[in-house]
Amino acid sequence: MNRITPRQLIAYLMAIFVFSTAAGAIGGYSLGKRSVARWPDRSKMREKIQAKITADLGLSSEQVAKLAPLIDRHMEELNSLNQEHHRQIGASMSRHRDRIAGILTPEQRIVFEAKEREREQRRSRQRGPSTEGTTNQGPGNPQPQSRP
């Protein structure tokens, strides 16, 4: 029976540490490259909701035919609410930036506006295009406007 020397044990532990660190870095990098805020495909979402309700309640084909437009209408309502929510948040953020700019000296305002542009560019890069070639803002949601 071969015994492991302390030197071999340290070498094994170091190898495990190095490989674990590399695996974590690769996994973290690949996870970080993905955009978190992607909107699901509307037709797939409707099909999933419809299938769940149909299975849970045992709907007839006639009921399923009536259900599809109801789900579509609900999804439109949610989309409209989401768009309005984004507009309200954008307006609030704009008012907040304007209030901050109002207390700054002209020199500070130049730096502040440059920082805001950098932040907006960083956000745009992080959002990136979705698989459909649009942004991850969701259907119909406007892009935030960069400040002059």
Largest CA distance in the chain: 79
- Confirm whether pTM is higher than 0.95: no
In angstroms, the CA 74 to CA 43 distance is 13
Please check whether residue 147 is in contact with residue 123, taking contact to mean a CB–CB distance below 8 angstroms.
no
* Mean pLDDT confidence for 31-40: 67
Residue 14: pLDDT band with limits 50, 70, 90: very high
Residue 134: pLDDT band with limits 50, 70, 90: very low
* Mean pLDDT confidence for 77-87: 93
Write the CA distances from 79 to 26, 27, 36, 82, 141, integer angstroms: 36, 33, 18, 5, 9
